[in-house]
Structure 1
């Protein structure tokens, strides 16, 4: 009689996830609090690594070209953030266009994801410099609380899947819990800012945008047949896996900034 292998415990990954998250929070907090060139350097680094991970998911057999793409991203991001002109935004097309000339497949995938990653990183830097620490803290808090509430509600309550074909682990209970958690963050910020209660609604919309960023990256990984974007972060996979929701939220705020003509954030 053979002994059955016990199924993995529901919370087996919690310790390593919390440890990795704590390290990222400490590093990220220093960058956000200090702002300026320190936050810029952090965003440039993370953005470059995520484009490298994107390349490696699509073309893992050519790591050298992936590193060249990352170096180009770092150069473009640094140059654009230093120059700050509207025409400089065209620089964000350099890596996507060069990348697709080097790929034999998934050219559109690389183009749009690489462009989106750079724009989202650029947006985060401008949100910090134009609107200050408090509003970037709100953005990051919404994304983090959405993830925490979603994780614990999904693990505890389970239930129907949100989008099983794309992300089989995500449940409706976790998704809705994320919205509620984001609304709570918005309410807390309404108490000590001049945003009013409308920020509660915006927080929940931002939460959904972040979840869509997560879904988009899950769809990419499923399409590429990989579990994680890389193995850089224990318990989380790669930087793309960890910051996909933040990318979605940043792009959503950029769109709002353009629609409502928010000063300081221009294309």
Structure 2
């Protein structure tokens, strides 16, 4: 913004090497699963969702790890079982883990219920997009989220300026937020040119970018309430899986809503 000076502190880049290395490893594993699809993508998503349920529990009740592991195993069992059924009533199984976990935990029950439910539904959305709409849609979804995160991070660090929502996420700036939108728009332009989606996908990419940022902010607010820095320490430079995939979950929930409300066509190169 006019009148603001770029941040020049060299220390702000200290975590970039570790962050990029972890990102590269996750991208490699994720890319293989996305390309292969089928059971490989299902295994990755179910594993990630189960771990995030465990992380949600551990942020609320860090002194009780065993129930968290039981809930993670229950999550994997429920989602795996849902893949073998097509009845609409099977969706009620999304409530099993949130209800059981809310009963078991001694405090913050509403938070556990809401976040556990949302993570499961978002994970199911990713499985649905890959299976029903194919590789191109899921590639676009992930590309928008990654572009938003990477360019939002870089622009925010270089340009700096006013904070987006300092009480919830003190590191996020308006410049980084706008940088993420711009990068998502570019991704949309690329997919509009290479696929039969049409240029409406450019606007949808920007809105999806904002949805991914909201997912990140919601998780930041939850961590602030729980007074923790990261959801866990599983990934060097990133914290936990929930820290890494919060934006993807927000985007998935948004696209699941769009796909449910409108007749979303297939998109192909």
Select which of 37, 54, 57 maps to 2:56: 54
| Counterparts of 1:192 and 1:231, CA distance in 2 | 39
Q: How far off is 1:8 after superposition?
A: 6.8
| Counterparts of 1:196 and 1:133, CA distance in 2 | 17
| Counterparts of 1:239 and 1:100, CA distance in 2 | 21
Q: How far off is 1:262 after superposition?
A: 4.1
1:232 is matched with which residue? 234
2:4 is matched with which residue? none
1:131 is matched with which residue? 133
Whether 1:203 and 2:205 are equivalent positions in the alignment is: yes
Contact 1:81 1:122 in 2 (8 A): no
State how 1:32-111 maps to structure 2 within 5 Å: 32-111=34-113
Change (3 A) 1:98 1:13: same
TM-score (norm 1): 0.95
State how 1:221-260 maps to structure 2 within 5 Å: 221-260=223-262
- State the secondary structure of the residue aligned to 1:170: strand
| Counterparts of 1:192 and 1:85, CA distance in 2 | 36
Higher mean Cα deviation, 95-104 or 211-220?
95-104
Q: How far off is 1:85 after superposition?
A: 2.3
Q: How far off is 1:104 after superposition?
A: 1.6
| Counterparts of 2:70 and 2:185, CA distance in 1 | 41
1:122 is matched with which residue? 124
State how 1:18-33 maps to structure 2 within 5 Å: 18-33=20-35
- State the secondary structure of the residue aligned to 2:186: helix
Whether 1:166 and 2:168 are equivalent positions in the alignment is: yes
Report the RMSD for the aligned CA atoms in angstroms.
Answer: 1.2
Select which of 14, 17, 20 maps to 1:15: 17
Q: How far off is 1:241 after superposition?
A: 0.0
Q: How far off is 1:260 after superposition?
A: 1.0
Give aligned pairs, total.
258
Select which of 160, 167, 177 maps to 2:179: 177
